[in-house]
Homo-oligomer: A and B are copies of this chain.
Amino acid sequence: MSTEISKYIDALTQYVEVEGIKYAYRSLGKQSGTPLLCLQHFTGTLDNWDPIIINGLAGERPVITIDNAGIGNSGGTTPDNVQDMAKTAIKIISALGIKKCDMLGYSLGGFIAQTIAATKPDLLRKIMLVGTAPQGTKALHSFPQLVEKAFQQEGIEVYLYIFATKSEKSRSLVTATFMRLMERKEDRDKDTGMPSIQAQISALTRWGTDTVTIKLSDIKQPVMIVQGSNDEMMDSDTSLQLFKQIPNALLFYYPDSAHGSFFQYPEMFVKEAGRFLDYFE
């Protein structure tokens, strides 16, 4: 990349090859400084990042969004467990020539970020965990039922069922985010297919039922945790558990919000993330 791209909508999808498989990613922002790698939520592709958030973060640092195996335009098969997703993410980041990065893990992406922090800590400088939960979170035992209910909704209601609360304010803010996700018309990612969705459902559910192997108290990096007041999927209270176990963590709860916490307050999140990434030790 020779010219600086400041807006996510202008960042063309690129590909990086790992072990014969091509993975999709987009890159933008400042060309110097620690890059921020963004790991996406359940079913989400490169097109599910709020452009206000990505553009805001890219104003001060390189930002790279990636599709894991079998997601969007990435090749490969989506694994049914977080550990293999983390291994793939590490390989993609390495293939991009990155030795050290910051990481934004959203939801399922937050599980992957926690796993990378435990298995390859030298890769990470700072970590942001949004709308996520620790291993062993009981609320995830009923994740398949929650998804089934969401998929019974129609149109944007599928999205609102997970990402918004029932209040008009929350629904309207998350609807605005959804509209921003639709602004990109060209070079869009493929929607996530049913086999990948099924594999992700297994991975998310297992995160709740597997034996806890990650020792959060060993995480040496500064960690910023963001959660909504009413995230049924992750159980909002589990973010306080993450905070209590990670030695050097900041925790932010946003009001009247579900799984789409930072989608409701994108400018505030950008400011908090910027301060965390640039100043917090």
A positions within 8 Å CB-CB of B: 229, 237, 240, 243-244, 247-256, 267-268, 271-272, 275, 279-280
Which 6 pairs, one residue from A and one from B, show the smallest C-beta to C-beta distance? Answer: A251-B253, A248-B255, A249-B255, A243-B253, A252-B252, A240-B240
Q: Which B residues lie within 8 Å of A250 (CB)?
A: 252-255
Q: A247-B255, A250-B252, A251-B252 are in contact. List 8 more A-B contacts (CB 8 A).
A: A229-B244, A240-B253, A243-B253, A243-B255, A251-B253, A252-B253, A268-B279, A272-B272
**Known contacts A229-B243, A240-B240, A244-B229; A280 and B253 CB within 8 A of each other:** no
Q: How far is the CB of A191 from chain B (nearest CB, A)?
A: 34
- From A229, A244, A248, A249, name the one whose CB has the most chain B CB atoms within 10 angstroms: A229
Inter-chain CA distance A255–B253, complex, in Å, is 14
Oligomer: number of copies: 2
In the bound complex, CA of A255 to CA of B221 (Å): 12
A129 to nearest B CB, angstroms?
13
Residues of chain B within 8 A of A280, CB atoms compared: 268
Instruction: Report the separation of the CA atoms of residues A268 and B273 in the bound assembly, to the nearest whole angstrom.
Output: 12
For A271, what are the chain B residues with a Cβ–Cβ distance below 8 Å? Answer: 271, 275
A268–B280 alpha-carbon span in the complex (Å): 9
Nearest CB of chain B from residue A111's CB, rounded to whole Å: 21
26 contacts between A and B (CB under 8 A): A229-B243, A229-B244, A237-B240, A240-B240, A240-B253, A243-B253, A243-B255, A247-B255, A247-B256, A248-B255, A248-B256, A249-B253, A249-B255, A250-B252, A250-B253, A250-B254, A250-B255, A251-B251, A251-B252, A251-B253, A252-B253, A267-B279, A268-B279, A268-B280, A271-B271, A272-B272
* Nearest CB of B to A43, in Å: 28
Q: Which residue of B lies closest to A244 (CB)?
A: B229
A243 to chain B, nearest CB (A): 6
Residues in B whose Cβ lies below 8 Å from that of A254: 250
Identity of the chain B residue whose Cβ is nearest the Cβ of A222 in the assembled complex: B255
Smallest CB-CB separation from A246: which chain B residue?
B255
Q: How far is the CB of A213 from chain B (nearest CB, A)?
A: 24
CA distance A243 to B236 in the complex (A): 12
Q: Kindly state the separation between the CA atoms of A38 and B254 in the bound complex, as whole angstroms.
A: 24
List the B side residues contacting A237 at CB < 8 Å: 240
B-side contacts of A279, CB under 8 Å: 267-268
Chain B residues in 8 Å Cβ range of A244: 229
A237 and B280 alpha carbons, distance in the complex (Å)? 23
Cα separation A254 to B244 with both chains bound (whole Å):
10
- Nearest chain B residue, comparing its CB with the CB of A251: B253
A193, B249: Cα distance in complex, Å: 38
- Bound complex: CA A23 to CA B280 (Å): 39
